[in-house]
Amino acid sequence: MASNENDLCADTIVALGLTAHPEAWQADTASVTTSDVSLSNAAVELLHGLVRQWLNEFQILAYVPLRTRVAYDDLADLTGVLPQQIRRIVRTTATAGILCEPHPESVAHTPLSTLLVKKPSFLDAVNFTAETVVPASLRMAEATRLQMRHHKKDASPYQIATNCSLSLAAACEKNAKLHRRAVAFQRLITSGGTSAVLHILSSIDLEGLGKAIVEVNAVSTAVAKALYSRSPSLWFVVQVREGIKQTESRLSSQRVNSLSWLKVQSRVPGTPQNETDAAVYLLHLPDPYFYGSSSEHAEICVAELRAHFDLLRINDKATLILIADVVPDTCGSSEAEARLQDLLLLQLGHDVVFDLKRLKGLMEFAREDVDRITVVKQLSSSRHSLVAFLLRSSKGSS
């Protein structure tokens, strides 16, 4: 169901092309004129996104009853917005499936707008797109000029757009609303994350490795629950990154208190791993999105790798499965989305592409003083940009 919901709301993330549908930019130059190319489609999508942000700002969606229609005049009384303006906005969003006019003088919900009301995180993502991502996109040229002419390497498009010296990561620490919206945006544009992880793990016999699994830097319990449904003999410790707002962690804890096979913890990335007796560790490398620069992200990645390499020296029977989202080396169905994610990181001040070469370099750097850790297998897929490495202590695998 979650996958269908995310698919239904995919068109709410416009951000100058962050929908990651390359076909929208393809044009047959032999049969179309310049004005026909799908830049116009991108402009329409962008306008729709900004209008949806307006709907949220004036609580239009919330004031429309979920199961019946409401007159424009009544909606105007509730919101303080002129009815003719609401009507023009609604008729625009209706072309994208958000709200409808069952009668010329009234408005009602559609399945998509109902979902936006029931899932506030989708509107948070739209707001982040309109207020943060789009302005940063429009300042990319200015940031490049400052970096070239004035050698201001720390002048990111995000900082220029927000007129703030803080990185997005630092700003999120000070602003709970910004953090919530940034998290919602990132989770929605990477909505294939759980299915991609499950796909890449499908070729591994987890039960054959052992029964106890620790999932590190998880964003939810979805992966653990899916793996348990396949193999009920497994039990899990899910470690959510401390610093991500704890709403989901609290909800997860409340739901799993009665589950003997699942425990949810909070953990700071880079600190020693306190679960030392498990058979398998699923280590999601920290997402660069919530770090202020490529160097800051590299530092925390190396710290995480070393923390778990140290663990393998203690528990030499364990298997570490390192999972990371990288920009792929070769063209494939996942490249467009990965390149757009990389462009977003560029706007946030990351100066180095996080590709497979970068990941392997960080792994080698972290292994410099841990010569007994060996890579057993590397896994990847053309369907997504995730890669996985199986690592073990050479002592344990001998």
Question: What does the angle CA 157 – CA 163 – CA 166 come to, to the nearest 5 degrees?
Answer: 75
Instruction: Report the percent of the chain where pLDDT is more than 90.
Output: 54
19: confidence class by pLDDT, cuts 50, 70, 90: very low
Q: Is the pLDDT of residue 44 over 80?
A: no
Q: In a 3-state reduction of DSSP, which class is residue 335?
A: helix
Residues 214 and 319 in one domain: yes
Residues 166 and 224 in one domain: no
The whole-angstrom separation of Cα 342 and Cα 326 is: 9
Residues 198 and 335 in one domain: yes
pLDDT of 103-155, one tens digit each? 989 999 999 899 888 888 888 888 898 889 989 989 999 999 988 887 776 68
The per-residue pLDDT for 26 is: 37
308, burial (CB in 10 Å: exposed 0-12, middle 13-18, buried 19+): buried
Domain boundary among 189, 222, 237: 189
Residues 210 and 168 in one domain: no
Question: Which CATH number do you get for residue 50?
Answer: 1.10.10.10
Q: Is the pLDDT of residue 238 over 60?
A: yes
Question: Which CATH number do you get for residue 265?
Answer: 3.40.50.150
The whole-angstrom separation of Cα 219 and Cα 289 is: 13
Residues 167 and 157 in one domain: yes
Query: Do strands 373-380 and 386-393 pair parallel, antiparallel, or not at all (unpaired)?
Result: antiparallel
Query: How far is Cα of residue 380 from the mean position of the Cα atoms in its chain?
Result: 19
Domain span at residue 183 reads 120-189
Instruction: State if pTM tops 0.75.
Output: yes
Domain boundary among 170, 189, 208: 189
Residues 180 and 221 in one domain: no
Closest to 198 measured CA to CA, from 232, 157, 229: 229
DSSP string, 23-83: GGG---TTT--GGGSTHHHHHHHHHHHHHHHHHHHTTHHHHS-SSS-EEHHHHHHHH-S-H
Residues 113 and 127 in one domain: no
The per-residue pLDDT for 250 is: 46
Residues 99 and 128 in one domain: no
Radius of gyration for the alpha carbons in the chain, expressed in angstroms and rounded: 23
Residues 61 and 86 in one domain: yes
Q: Write the single-letter amino acid at 160.
A: I
pLDDT of 148-174, one tens digit each? 887 776 689 999 999 988 999 999 999
Write out the two tokens for 148. Answer: 């070239």
Q: How many domains does the chain have?
A: 3
Domain boundary among 189, 213, 233: 189
Residues 106 and 128 in one domain: no
Q: 70: which residues sit within 8 A by CB, 6+ positions away?
A: 63, 64, 106, 107, 108
Residues 112 and 39 in one domain: yes
Residues 113 and 36 in one domain: yes
Q: Is the pLDDT of residue 360 over 80?
A: yes
Handedness of CA 215, 221, 225, 226 (dihedral sign): negative
pLDDT of 240-287, one tens digit each? 976 554 444 444 455 555 688 999 999 999 999 999 999 999 999 999
